Amino acid sequence: MRAAERRHLDRVAALGCCICGAPAEIHHVRRHGAKRDHMRAIPLCPRHHRTGGHGVAVHAGRQTWAAKHGTEERHLAAVMRRLGYNVVEDEPQLPE
């Protein structure tokens, strides 16, 4: 991981969970079939990330989670806006 990616992930986690505001860990938002991209990350607390069970944790059922909380892409766009990146129509324009 490059230093710039580490700084970005630290800034993302510092925002707090994008669902409840609790202290957060990193959740990587992946495009279909793509490798993990450290610049495509949102902050989620452990409960909303992996431990909360179906309908609560994104890893316990993405479609149910998205129906309840909104899509990962929408949250990614909101996070990127909060960090000062240019976002057009909920599609982040990530730095090169």
pLDDT interval class at 65 (50, 70, 90): very high
Partners of 26 in the β-ladder: 43
Structural domains in the chain, sorted by start: 3-86 (3.30.40.190)
**Two tokens at 7?**
């700084």
Q: Please determine, for residue 93, whether its predicted confidence score (pLDDT) is greater than 80.
A: no
Q: Which residues contact 36 (CB under 8 A, 6 or more apart)?
A: 28, 30
Number of H helices, E strands in the chain: 4, 4
Q: Are the beta carbons of 25 and 13 closer than 8 angstroms?
A: yes
pLDDT in tens, 7-64: 999 999 999 999 999 999 999 998 877 788 899 999 999 999 999 999 999 999 999 9
Q: What is the pTM of this model?
A: 0.86
CA distance 38 to 95: 12
